[in-house]
Structures are given as C-alpha cells and as structure tokens.
C-alpha cells in the first residue's frame, strides 16, 4: 500500500473508520475515498456495484457495520443480522468482482464462544455457544470472516479479517440506550456530576472482566496489518490486559471528578463473564498497543466534553 494508493474506507464516520481515516492522513496517504450513507447506501447492492465500477479502489478497510450495546442487540436482533450481512456481502463480493488488491474486514471479539477459555485464541472460534444477547451480530461477523476466507480459497483474493477487542475513543456512541459499557459509564458519571446527583447506578454486579483498546491503537494495527499480514486466518487485536467493570467505573468516576456513590443494579444482565483476547499472534507479526487505559479514558472524556 503506497502513499498514493486508492484507498476506500467503508464506514469512515464511525469510531473505527474515522480513526483509520485520521491515521492514514497523518501518515501522508493522499488518495482516500469516503462516502457518507446518503452518498452511498452500502445496503444497496446496485449502488455498491456502481460505486466500485466508477471508483476502482485498490485497498479497502471494511469498517462499516451496525454496532451497539446489550439493550440494542437484544431489542433489534433482526436489524443487526440483516444490515451487517448485507453490508459485508455487497462490499466483499464487489471487491472480488473488481480485482481489488487487498481488503481488511473488521470483525469483533464477540464472535467467540461465551465461555471460551481465557485468554481467547483465534482457534477457539466456533468451539462453543455464543453469548445470547449479541448472537445475531456475532453470526453476521462470523459470516463475514468466513466469506473472506472462502473468496481467498476459491478466487485467490487477499482478504484479511481482524478481531478487535472492546473499542473506545473519539466518535464513540454515548447514547445510554445503545452504547457499550465504557462510553455509557462516561456519560452516566458526567451527567451525574453536572446534575449534582448523589449516586450513579451501574448495570450488573461489576464483576465481569473486559479488555479495552483505544481506537487510535486499532487504526494503527489495521494499517500495520494491511501492509504486513496476508493470511486467511483471523487475527486478534487487543492489549492482552483486562479489568473488572467495577474497577473501570472507579477509574471513570475519578476522571470525571464525580463525588457521589456507585451502586449496582444486579437485576440487569452482566453479559459474558470474561472476554480477554490472546494477542500472541499479532505480537509475533510485530504490533503492540501503545495507549494505556487511564490515558485513553482521560483523552476520551476530554473529547466527549468538547463534543457537547
């Protein structure tokens, strides 16, 4: 991938896609193609086909997806499986039809079995039942990476699939109805501080453990892998370090300077007990994360306040 290569970022307004766009620009890439949903509906096969014929991209970062937290996944499972399958099918198939040089497909760590051994190795995929609350999304992502593998095998394409852990950072979703744990906690603690509330109610028991990767590190990893990884086998992207939701809440409470109490609504679901990725493979390829969690939360909270 050269500095003047024609690069299409699908989903450039999302958290992951916007981070990849920022990183490519900072690195001096000059021929980047983006389209808003109004300009190109990735759910529309004919529109995607026309776009590829007109633009002829050489490299694709497929970051476009419907994503959300537990509530949204539980309430709208049909939307999650339909929209993600449709986006993947349209982009990946047209990438093949137009002989693009390389495609990177962004999967998710939620594709792994709910009770997979920890830390989760790439080969644990499809060895057990999925977490029920996001099964539709996970199955769509599994279909996407299987599609990449299948096209590589049958057609000799160079489509790679990366499995990032839980992401956070600029352009995250802070809507309490559809956001993930970390941005939801930032929003809750910030609002509670502004409103002088005496407590913040958090979901579950606080005992589940999660791994968090700053989206700028994800972008760095994706660009690195686009240049250095050419295997059909999936590859994890993470820090290799996890933390309890309770400890995460305490870090965010401190960063937001909220003075009240933290309480836990144990009637709400915890989700998967633990989800930590094994990152030996990506370390072997030559990449490692740079942004520690407390620094990342500090920067994310600053971005959130500036966005209000």
Q: Which of 196, 200, 284, 178 is nearest to 240 (CA)?
A: 284
**Identified catalytic residue from 80, 137, 151, 229:** 137
Q: In the structure, how many helices (H) and strands (E) does the chain have?
A: 10, 13
Distances (CA, A) of 113 to 38, 131, 213, 215, 216: 36, 7, 20, 24, 27
Q: What are 253's two structure tokens? A: 């409470």
Surface-to-core class of residue 71, CB atoms within 10 Å of its CB (0-12 exposed, 13-18 middle, 19+ buried): middle
Phi, psi of 35 (to 5 degrees): -145, 135
* Relative orientation angle of helices 181-194 and 293-307, to the nearest 10 degrees: 60
Surface-to-core class of residue 150, CB atoms within 10 Å of its CB (0-12 exposed, 13-18 middle, 19+ buried): middle
Distance CA 260, CA 232 (A): 50
Q: What are 177's two structure tokens? A: 């109805």
| Active-site residue, 137 included | yes
Coil vs helix vs strand at 260: coil
Contact call for residues 149 and 193 (beta carbons, < 8 A): no
List the catalytic residues. 137
């Amino acid at each position: 991938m050269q500095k003047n290569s024609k690069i299409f970022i699908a989903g450039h307004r999302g958290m992951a896609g916007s981070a990849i766009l920022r990183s490519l620009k900072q690195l001096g890439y000059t021929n980047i193609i983006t389209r808003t949903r109004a300009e190109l509906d990735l759910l529309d096969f004919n529109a995607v086909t026309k776009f590829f014929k007109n633009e002829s991209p050489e490299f694709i970062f497929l970051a476009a997806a419907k994503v959300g937290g537990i509530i949204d996944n539980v309430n709208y499972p049909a939307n999650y499986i339909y929209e993600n399958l449709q986006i993947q099918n349209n982009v990946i198939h047209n990438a093949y039809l137009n002989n693009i040089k390389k495609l990177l497909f962004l999967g998710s760590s939620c594709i792994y079995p709910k009770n997979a051994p920890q830390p989760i190795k790439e080969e644990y995929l499809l060895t057990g039942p999925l977490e029920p609350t996001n099964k539709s999304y996970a199955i769509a992502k599994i279909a996407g990476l299987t599609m990449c593998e299948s096209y590589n095998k049958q057609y000799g394409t160079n489509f790679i699939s990366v499995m990032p852990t839980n992401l956070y950072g600029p352009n995250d979703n802070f809507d309490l109805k559809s956001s993930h744990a970390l941005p939801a906690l930032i929003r809750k603690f910030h609002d509670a501080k502004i409103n002088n509330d005496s407590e913040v109610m958090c979901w579950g028991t606080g005992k589940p453990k999660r791994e968090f990767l700053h989206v700028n590190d994800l972008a760095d990893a994706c660009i690195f892998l686009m240049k250095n990884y050419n295997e059909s086998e999936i590859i994890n992207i993470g820090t290799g370090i996890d933390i309890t939701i309770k400890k995460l809440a305490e870090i965010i409470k401190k960063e937001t300077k909220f003075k009240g109490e933290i309480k836990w609504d144990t009637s709400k679901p915890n989700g998967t007990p633990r989800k930590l990725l094994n990152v030996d493979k990506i370390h072997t390829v030559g990449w490692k994360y740079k942004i520690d969690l407390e620094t990342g939360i500090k920067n994310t909270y600053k971005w959130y306040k500036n966005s209000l």
